[in-house]
């Protein structure tokens, strides 16, 4: 597939990109080259190739799903401006 100057001008207009008249011919050649490369890639037979998410054949490392409290209560409450009985102490809102 080849792209001409009129097609490049239309694409530039649709994309709201200002392209000068002198830039249309080089852009048309570059876009035509890209489309030829894509057509070349489409000719490759990939029917026997399974889809993959990564080029590395590694599984994800999983940690154990263990419920715990984090054992950080004292560290967290130490940052509070006011604490009482291991909890954040806040001023009374409702009278």
Tell me the β-bridge partners of 83.
88
- pLDDT for the residue 66: 87
pLDDT, tens digit, for every residue of 12-27?
999 999 999 999 999 9
Domains plus CATH for the chain?
5-42 (1.10.20)
Which of 44, 51, 17 is closest to 31 using CA atoms? 17
Give the global pTM. Answer: 0.50
Q: What is the pLDDT of residues 43-75, one digit of tens each?
A: 999 888 888 777 777 777 888 888 887 888 888
Among 11, 4, 8, 3, smallest CA distance to 32 is for 3
Please check whether residue 36 is in contact with residue 46, taking contact to mean a CB–CB distance below 8 angstroms: no
Q: Which tokens go with 74?
A: 């004292």
Alpha carbon distance 63, 59 (integer Å): 13
């Amino acid at each position: 597939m080849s792209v001409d100057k009129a097609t490049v001008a239309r694409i530039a207009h649709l994309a709201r990109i200002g392209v000068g008249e002198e830039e249309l011919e080089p852009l048309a050649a570059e876009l035509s080259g890209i489309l030829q490369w894509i057509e070349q890639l489409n000719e490759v037979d990939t029917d026997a190739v399974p889809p993959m998410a990564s080029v590395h054949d590694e599984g994800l490392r999983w940690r154990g799903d263990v419920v715990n409290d984090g054992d950080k209560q004292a560290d967290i409450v130490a940052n509070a401006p006011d604490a009482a009985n291991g909890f954040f102490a806040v001023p009374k809102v409702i009278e």
